[in-house]
Chain A
């Protein structure tokens, strides 16, 4: 086994495609085993659920936009090998900032001023929420994965607190639609569709992020810090400042996502507003190899799976969580397939002949062979365990 130099993009996507097809086959088997339904029918329902009507297309577009926006937010941090798993919390805090502006200032300020004010509040809140772990990482090298993870729950409880403080009507335990009569602070509806503005914002941000990461000095510094902190320090990049700056950007965009959710689509604040998308976005960004343009595809794939599986659940009166199982299986396959993209297997001699040699035997000391067999066997095992 050795590391591959590089695959052409179509070979890489070919491997991924094989993985997805294999995953779909396994999912089909699971579906028919557990429910006794015809898998082809199930997949047809999935397509209808995601793309069936114009309305569904718009909803799909909206959800892709939100997921893509979060993934964009996480990307600069990931490129720096800073595992920001706190997207969930940063979104919630941004949403909290927005809701605060809309509730407190909704009656006093005109929309022209209120919208920028709440955008700034959301971005500021998100940035501060990401800044806290970033400062600790830069100063004391605190483990950021665990830190950002914990920050999610602090944010959730903070939102839960304010939901009760602002609840309408009192005692209901939820906020309801904010400013329903005045629509103060709501994003305007353009071209007759209330999701269009969200989608446009995210489209512009995608291109912006691509340019920022690929062509700007900051983007280059981020990549260098990600590859090697020592190199970065040697060439005079201020590592601490780069971490702090990048994380503030990351948190700011998450906060903005929170703004889009509250002011653009939901017009309310709940603790489940982000709905686990802060974690899904990690997978989206990773699947696209942290390339903003690739993320359009990967977020589309995941949202399609989610919505399609939701449709299956309703159509065949299954539990809604069936979608999570299918998504999980497909993710496992894609995750596994990345190995075959970055590594090449070498089989000693005529390949399968020496499969009977026990791995511990002194004859098979070359790591290439034993590891190669390992992964061959495990591919089968993986399918077995996925089937259970």
Chain B
């Protein structure tokens, strides 16, 4: 029997990294930057947080009592934001200021970011010369997984709605805020103008460079949080190389799926999170091979959405018109 009460919390937990990643990428793409480095950024965000909390736990001698609860949360959070900030800055310098090709830069960032994550994930213990067998940040992870006190008491409702760490709720709030800012504020209007037609926006007196920098870096930082959520909450603070997998690409797929709207992104992330683990719940009997076909679902659904939006050619649902192109004022 399909156990819906067990399925939903797993689905939500699975969807939070996707939600953060796609919200970040949506903000980025609205400014006209197609950042294919998001998978790398999420790795860097995750490993930066891990490094931060590893060093902190280490300095406290590994005992949970010695750790300040505020710092336990704040240090990984800060490191994660810093790491993804630097990645975003790098992307902006290369593509906005130096007008490099966005696809190439993004792919190079993914190579770098995944390598960075796996290298430090694999060598952190050796580099710091400690004698523990693996990176298991259980104290930090527990802090990140702290739920509201009445969650376990509230039975099924508590399990469905209140059983998540604070980053999960933060993700939903960030997505809603992003949707509001993009759609209903002046800043959002300017941002969309930059993404649709930078020349027009420039003529209207909008500072293109500033908007592109801020949007892309902010997007990277949000996406980096997705990586942090994955390792601290979903994976219980255990880093294993390549465990994050292709979620970064899935987050980019999700941006298309949500037709560039972070509020739709919340529900679609749940859907994708569900599709991502659906194969575990579908009874296939002895035929293991079919499960591999189920894993295709999120991508096929994305392709269909991409084709349909381009077929219907409705203006609101299109990618930002200048997506993927650098802007050079004198080249009009």
Cβ contact within 8 Å between A146 and B256: yes
Q: Encode A150-163 as 1/0 by CB contact (under 8 A) with B.
A: 11011001101110
Shortest distance in angstroms between B112's beta carbon and chain A's nearest beta carbon? 3
Which residues 302-332 in B have Cβ within 8 Å of A in the complex? Answer: 302-303, 306-307, 310-311, 313, 319, 323-324, 328-331
B54 to chain A, nearest CB (A): 15
Which of B99-107, B139-147, B191-199 forms part of the interface with chain A? B99-107
Does the CB pair B93–A367 fall under 8 Å?
Answer: no
Flag whether B119 is at the interface (Cβ < 8 A): yes
For chain A, the count of residues having a C-beta within 8 Å of the partner chain is: 61
Contact of B115 among A154, A165, A279, A327 (CB under 8 A): A327
Docked pose: A385 CA to B88 CA in angstroms = 10
Q: How many A-B residue pairs have CB under 8 A?
A: 180
Q: What A residues does B252 contact at CB under 8 A? A: 146, 149
Contacts of B107 in A (CB 8 A): 85, 279, 282-283
- A116 interface residue (CB < 8 Å to B): no
- Cβ proximity bits B204-240 to A, threshold 8 Å, 1 near / 0 not: 0000010000000000000000000000000000000
Q: Report the interface size class on chain B.
A: 35 or more
Min distance, Cβ B279 to any Cβ of chain A, angstroms: 10
In the bound complex, residues from chain B placing their C-beta under 8 Å from that of A276 are 111
Asked if A153 contacts B330 (CB within 8 A), the reply is no
B246: contacting residue among A153, A325, A331, A338, CB under 8 A = A153
Binary CB contact string for chain B from 66 to 94 against chain A (1 if under 8 A, 0 otherwise): 00000000000000000100100110011
Cβ of A324 under 8 Å from chain B: yes
CA distance A338 to B330 in the complex (A): 18
In the complex, residue of chain B having the shortest beta-carbon distance to the beta carbon of A323 = B115
Kindly provide the distance from the CB of A304 to the nearest chain B CB, expressed in whole angstroms. 15
Checking A157, A282, A332 against B90 with a beta-carbon cut-off of 8 angstroms, the contacting residue is A332
Contacts of B104 in A (CB 8 A): 282-283, 286, 331, 335
Residues of chain A within 8 A (CB-CB) of B115 are 321-325, 327-328
B148 surroundings in chain A (CB, below 8 A): none
A338 contacts across to B, CB distance below 8 A: 98, 100
Instruction: Report the bound CA distance from A384 to B300 in whole Å.
Output: 41
Chain A interface (Cβ < 8 Å from any Cβ of B): 2-3, 34-35, 83, 85, 136, 140-143, 145-147, 149-151, 153-154, 157-158, 160-162, 164-165, 276, 279-280, 282-283, 286, 318-325, 327-329, 331-332, 335-336, 338-339, 342-343, 367, 371, 374-375, 378, 381-382, 385-386, 388
Pick the residue among A149, A164, A283 that contacts B108 (CB under 8 A): A283
Decide if A378 touches B98 in the complex (CB within 8 Å): yes
Does B203 count as interface, using CB distance less than 8 angstroms?
A: no
Given that A150-B306, A158-B296, A161-B293 are contacting pairs, would A378 and B93 also be in contact in the complex, using a CB cutoff of 8 Å? yes
List 25 interface pairs A-B (beta carbons < 8 Å), by A numbering: A83-B324, A140-B307, A141-B310, A142-B310, A143-B310, A150-B253, A150-B299, A151-B299, A165-B289, A280-B111, A286-B101, A319-B119, A321-B118, A325-B119, A328-B108, A328-B109, A328-B112, A332-B90, A335-B98, A335-B105, A367-B329, A374-B97, A381-B89, A382-B94, A385-B86
Give the most central of A149, A150, A161, A323: most B CB within 10 Å.
A150
Q: Which residues of A contact B101 (CB under 8 A)?
A: 286, 335
Question: A331–B299 contact, CB under 8 A?
Answer: no
- B262 CB to nearest A CB, Å: 17
Write out the residue numbers on chain A whose beta carbons fall within 8 Å of the beta carbon of B100: 335-336, 338-339
List residues of chain B with CB within 8 A of the CB of A367. 329-330
Residues of B that sit less than 8 Å from A by CB? 34, 36, 83, 86, 89-90, 93-94, 97-101, 103-105, 107-119, 121-123, 127, 209, 241, 246, 249, 252-253, 256, 288-290, 292-293, 295-296, 299-300, 302-303, 306-307, 310-311, 313, 319, 323-324, 328-331
Which A residues are in CB contact (< 8 Å) with B114? 321, 324
Complex Cα distance, B97 from A386, in Å, reads 16
Using A140-B310, A327-B111 as known contacts, say yes or no to A321 and B303 having CB atoms under 8 A apart. Answer: no
Nearest CB of B to A241, in Å: 19
Taking A140-B313, A145-B103 as contacts, is the C-beta distance between A157 and B112 under 8 angstroms? no
Is the Cβ of B306 less than 8 Å from the Cβ of A279? no
Contact between A279 and B299, CB atoms less than 8 A apart: no
Known: A142-B310, A161-B293, A322-B119. A153 touches B97 (CB 8 A): no
Check A331/B111 contact, CB under 8 A, given A2-B330, A282-B103: yes
Given the contacts A325-B115, A335-B104, A343-B99, A154 and B303 also touching, CB distance less than 8 Å? yes
* Neighbour of A325 across the interface among B83, B112, B290, B324, CB < 8 A: B112
How far does the Cβ of A1 sit from chain B's closest Cβ, in whole Å? 8
Bound-complex Cα distance A158 to B98 (A): 39
Q: Which of B90, B112, B319, B331 contacts A382 (CB 8 A)?
A: B90
Q: Given contacts A286-B101, A339-B100, A378-B98, list 18 more A-B pairs with CB under 8 A.
A: A142-B307, A142-B310, A145-B103, A146-B306, A150-B302, A150-B306, A161-B289, A286-B104, A318-B119, A319-B121, A321-B119, A327-B111, A328-B108, A331-B112, A332-B108, A336-B100, A371-B97, A381-B89
Chain B residues in 8 Å Cβ range of A158: 292-293, 296
B residues in contact with A282, CB < 8 Å: 103-104, 107
Residue of A160, A283, A324, A339 with most chain B CB atoms under a 10 A cut-off: A324
